[in-house]
Amino acid sequence: MIELWFAIVSFMLTAYVVLDGFDFGAGALHLVVARTNDERRRVLGAIGPYWDGNEVWLLAAGGTLFVAFPKVLAAGLSGFYFAIFLVLWALILRGIAIEFRSHVNAPLWRSFWDVTFSVASASLAVLFGAAIGNLVRGLPLDGKGWFSLALFTSFTPREPVGILDWYTVLTGVFALVALTAHGAAFLAWKTEGALQGRARAAAAKGFVAVAALWTLVTLATSVVAPDFLAPFLSRPFAIFGLLAAIGGLMVASFAIRRGRDRRAFLGSCAFLSGLMVATAACSFPALLRSSGDRALAITAYGAANDHAGLVTALSWWAVGFPLAIGYFVVVFRMHRGKAPAAAEGEGY
């Protein structure tokens, strides 16, 4: 049961990265690929039916942690207190920018909210990437499973560690590039004309950059946290995730150059999903790794709710999860095809 809930939490986080990831990427990139007000409204029209629903996966992931591994959620919320506030502000500003930009027909007003939307989207990609870097590197856990982090210390991934060091910044930049390429592939699929052409070009360059940075991040991980990669060959899911990520990146890179935009987007989805699966498989059973004494790590077995609680939560999850999947299937079918620009005066 504990292993099943570890898999469920990993799946929920993977779904969030893949689905909200194309929103972040499109937002971070829209000032580059969209040159006119009409093109920027088409970018918003492309992500408009999905972005708020995609964010629900983050809440769902937090909910699964609450019912399955409450100790992890409690320690993570307190330890990442400042970082979580930054995430919340970026999420709020991003939503406000989407809704407000077309309320006033003035170039300065729209430009302000366009820049806000882009900066908030890029910041979220970096923050979530840095968060994963912190989890891989390890956290300064004490004997009771609590920790606190400064924004940065010596900027090295050695004790005393901070939220930001060269390794977590590298993982944040990698996340930004990967999600930007992901968002560009989505825009290439959902738009047309000059906007589509610029999105294709951005995706093609982005996937090349992703391959280079992925190699660099893997090498850095072998230096900063060699024990994290040590069990890789003995974990079938880790090998499966790696193969899915390699295959997805190759499909995305070749498809985008041949104008197969939907295939490129699906390849990018496979890449991100495979990367998350491999990361979760290498981390298991640790949910919060320690940067000092590895024995202090909070594991799934040590942080899990009691068996009766896990069984009860699973019965509710079995009802809610199909409904969520059904919702996304309906939304994607309703908005299939190219996305039109929103009517003047509407957010999207």
Once rounded to an integer, what is the mean pLDDT over residues 120-135?
Answer: 95
**3-state SS of 270-282?**
HHHHHHHHHHHHH
The Cα–Cα gap between 18 and 268 comes to 9
Residue type for position 117: F
Give the pLDDT band (50/70/90) at residue 152. Answer: confident
CA angle 100, 106, 108 (to 5 degrees): 85
pLDDT score for 111: 92
Tokens of 227: 């024990």
Once rounded to an integer, what is the mean pLDDT over residues 175-188?
Answer: 97
Once rounded to an integer, what is the mean pLDDT over residues 22-42?
Answer: 91
pLDDT score for 122: 96
The Cα–Cα gap between 28 and 184 comes to 10
pLDDT score for 188: 95
Give the pLDDT band (50/70/90) at residue 336. Answer: confident
Q: Which residues contact 72 (CB under 8 A, 6 or more apart)?
A: 65, 287, 288, 298, 303
What is the DSSP track for 281-326?
HHHTTEEE-BSS-GGG-EEHHHHPPPHHHHHHHHHHHHHHHHHHHH
Give the pLDDT band (50/70/90) at residue 337. Answer: confident
The Cα–Cα gap between 206 and 241 comes to 21
Q: 0.85 cut: is pTM over it?
A: yes
Q: Which residues contact 60 (CB under 8 A, 6 or more apart)?
A: 12, 16, 324
pLDDT score for 246: 97
Of 197, 199, 216, 210, which Cα lies nearest the Cα of 251? 210
Other Cβ atoms within 10 Å of 130 Cβ, number: 24
Q: Is the pLDDT of residue 347 over 80?
A: no
Residue type for position 136: V
How does pLDDT run across 80-105, given as a tens digit for each residue? 888 899 999 999 999 999 888 888 88
Cis previous bond, 226, omega within 30: no
The Cα–Cα gap between 206 and 216 comes to 15
pLDDT score for 302: 87
Q: Is the pLDDT of residue 343 over 80?
A: no
Q: What is the mean pLDDT of the chain?
A: 91
The Cα–Cα gap between 281 and 345 comes to 47
Q: Strand 150-152 relative to strand 162-164: parallel, antiparallel, unpaired? A: parallel
The Cα–Cα gap between 207 and 212 comes to 9
pLDDT score for 348: 60
Give the pLDDT band (50/70/90) at residue 77. Answer: confident
Residue 206 and residue 180 in contact, taking contact as beta carbons nearer than 8 Å: yes
The Cα–Cα gap between 94 and 128 comes to 15
Q: Which long-range contacts (CB under 8 A, 24 or more apart) does 267-270 make?
A: 267/185, 268/181, 268/182, 268/185, 268/207, 269/18, 269/182, 270/244, 270/245
Q: Is residue 82 helix, strand or coil?
A: helix
pLDDT score for 346: 61
